[in-house]
Structure 1
């Protein structure tokens, strides 16, 4: 609404004192005084229709309602004629009347009333406060209420890491049905638990395991690392497990204590609502890592003795074939394997960002890290790269595209004009990791890259994560 009505930039400039507050006609001053001479709210459309175009209160509201609908050319011409005629009768010059109608027409379809805008402002303030003061609990709330909002869960997790939150992977003895704060360090020793209700079935969280592979040490945080609680990913982020399966794991653990081995887990949950895909995913996402046996070894034994069946059938373990041979050693999973398994099973990574594994190649190509870009002056040519997390094509942007790339250090906003987009459409839309050449654009403390060349990053595995595309 305000964008189409050309109100956003004038309002910001006037709010910052960089542009004088002016009114196209004296009749507009009492209506637009508190919004610095620009139309921001639907109520102002009604007031303009009444005080400037001379409509009755009911006629002004009907005018507002009509403007919010998709009208044909004849209907819009009729509305415009009535509005212009009313303005002229109040000695408003024709050029001012035309300007007002164009502003109202662009604004009305998406404009908010004051109460709606106030509600959004309060929500924005409260969530910003929560993120600053209770980042772990805030992150759990976001992840536990997906799908919602603009960003994919993996993007939310990466942002939480950059803001000092330690994110811990799924664990069969520590995860709950949903994501929850978990006490660590001194807080765990003192028995502290997060304020408010807990899903931990009456027991306090166990101390978080902060071995190096669980600490997001590569990420430059904008806030100190949270030292009392980490965020433990819940069973709701294990694909194919289902609500009944999640509840069964937690209920049995509450009843009989911690699971002591993979076989103990299988025996205790035999006949439960956990299918073969869920068992496999629990193993491959690392839910049994703390029990001491490698993931591939667990899967091999499960396939040999259970034939890969789930637990619903209650099938007993099969007799092992006795051979006079040593079982083959299976290769350990490396960091990239673990990263890909988490993305595939949980749609997020508690460890390295995917671009971490591409960094050496990106350095060879001369691509800058996202945290280097804020210091680049306006107009300088740059090369950036990252995982595409959003693709936007607003109907009001005259075919200009807006992409957001993410690396292990932050995000990069990229603007793509129609001619550039047409040249690189196939690559831009289909490739998950892009390398983009362009020019740095800076204004009012905000920066982005205006793209001139787009290519896919070659020589790295194709990631499983998908962007959110808005067209």
Structure 2
């Protein structure tokens, strides 16, 4: 009976992922924290299947991940990140922001939000960092400038008392800086995987994308670089550690022997991204890399902690 129940769950999950990929991913995001894969990995997988993910938006986001029409996304719908996913916001504050919007109408500025909902400065600044105010006009740097002043206003205060609402002309963020801001604020880079910014560097090092590993001849020595998403050491594996490396093309399974783990323990336990050389093991549709050399890969703050030994 237990096996039958698990089989049904696997079948139903696969069916929903195949036919309703955006709704399936949004449902998983709503259920966080849970499961084996992080929100970043879930969104990256959805993106590889043509599903667009949109950042949090003050006037368009629900409290949690939801769907909205999007012609360029698989199935005609995209995932819209929820306000509760933004660092320091949380469910209660997100629901308060949404409830006020539903009853009093859309917000037209950052100050309009803080006039109507009492928010501490870290919350307003986190929303600005996440790009939640971008549709109102200011880019993220300008929104961050305004956030501090806006947070000093309170519902019922006379308008115009707080200074600093009007940001000066500031340079816009680069794509790299936006990705770093997204990752800090929500743990997700909706537009592109952070490793994409290192692809030229990885190409120069001779590293192949993770998606090419299954097409590599068995026994070939290759190098792969990516963010570490998981570490596992099953009790029945004889001390072998299994890693998952993720780049903009997919995930690669890495096998680390006890000896290599002992030699590279500091890197394996502490680094959020690695460059791994090893021998491709390709058999019956499965692909892995048996590591023989490990180097720390610097993602310059564009990676999050892996889910280890769960």
Report the TM-score range of the alignment, normalised by the length of the smaller protein: over 0.9
Whether the 8 Å contact between 1:277 and 1:310 is mirrored in structure 2 is no
Match 2:48 to one of 162, 173, 183: 162
What are the superposed Cα offsets for residues 212-236 of structure 1, whole Å, 9 maximum, x if unpaired? xxxxxxxxxxxxx514111111112
> Is 1:427 aligned with 2:272?
no
Give the direction of change, closer, same or farther, for the CA distance of 1:408–1:165 in structure 2 (3 Å limit). Answer: same
Any idea what SS the aligned residue of 1:174 has? coil
What are the superposed Cα offsets for residues 296-328 of structure 1, whole Å, 9 maximum, x if unpaired? 22322343x45x54758968653548xxxx975
Gaps of 5+ in 1: 1-114, 186-209, 211-224
Give the direction of change, closer, same or farther, for the CA distance of 1:249–1:443 in structure 2 (3 Å limit). Answer: same
Whether the 8 Å contact between 1:175 and 1:235 is mirrored in structure 2 is yes
Question: Which of the pair is proportionally richer in strand?
Answer: 2
TM-score, with length taken from structure 1: 0.62
Gaps of 5+ in 2: none
Any idea what SS the aligned residue of 2:18 has? helix
Give the direction of change, closer, same or farther, for the CA distance of 1:252–1:402 in structure 2 (3 Å limit). Answer: same
What are the superposed Cα offsets for residues 441-462 of structure 1, whole Å, 9 maximum, x if unpaired? 011111100000000125x413
Whether the 8 Å contact between 1:432 and 1:462 is mirrored in structure 2 is no
Any idea what SS the aligned residue of 1:357 has? helix
- Give, in whole Å, the separation in 1 of the partners of 2:67 and 2:157: 34
- Give, in whole Å, the separation in 2 of the partners of 1:278 and 1:125: 40
**1:6-405 paired onto structure 2 within 5 Å:** 115-185=1-71, 225-269=73-117, 272=118, 274-303=119-148, 305-306=149-150, 308-309=151-152, 311=154, 317-318=160-161, 320=163, 329-405=169-245
- Give, in whole Å, the separation in 2 of the partners of 1:352 and 1:311: 37
Count of aligned positions: 309
Whether the 8 Å contact between 2:110 and 2:147 is mirrored in structure 1 is no
What are the superposed Cα offsets for residues 394-442 of structure 1, whole Å, 9 maximum, x if unpaired? 1111100000000000000000111111111111111111111100101
- Give, in whole Å, the separation in 2 of the partners of 1:295 and 1:405: 30
> Is 1:469 aligned with 2:305?
no
Match of 1:51 in 2: none
- Give, in whole Å, the separation in 2 of the partners of 1:144 and 1:314: 35
Deviation at 1:245, TM superposition (A): 1.4
- Give, in whole Å, the separation in 2 of the partners of 1:313 and 1:443: 68
- Give, in whole Å, the separation in 2 of the partners of 1:149 and 1:331: 40
Give the direction of change, closer, same or farther, for the CA distance of 1:388–1:320 in structure 2 (3 Å limit). Answer: closer
What are the superposed Cα offsets for residues 94-134 of structure 1, whole Å, 9 maximum, x if unpaired? xxxxxxxxxxxxxxxxxxxxx11110011000000000011
Deviation at 1:170, TM superposition (A): 0.3
- Give, in whole Å, the separation in 1 of the partners of 2:154 and 2:190: 28
- Give, in whole Å, the separation in 1 of the partners of 2:29 and 2:211: 26
> Greater CA deviation, 260-269 or 402-411?
260-269
Match of 1:23 in 2: none
Deviation at 1:244, TM superposition (A): 2.5
User: What is the aligned-residue RMSD (CA, Å)?
Assistant: 2.1
- Give, in whole Å, the separation in 2 of the partners of 1:258 and 1:391: 44
Any idea what SS the aligned residue of 2:269 has? helix
- Give, in whole Å, the separation in 1 of the partners of 2:157 and 2:238: 61
TM-score, with length taken from structure 2: 0.93
Give the direction of change, closer, same or farther, for the CA distance of 1:315–1:139 in structure 2 (3 Å limit). Answer: farther
Whether the 8 Å contact between 1:370 and 1:384 is mirrored in structure 2 is yes
Whether the 8 Å contact between 1:275 and 1:311 is mirrored in structure 2 is no
Q: Larger relative contact order (C-alpha < 8 A, sep ≥ 6)?
A: 2
Deviation at 1:264, TM superposition (A): 2.0
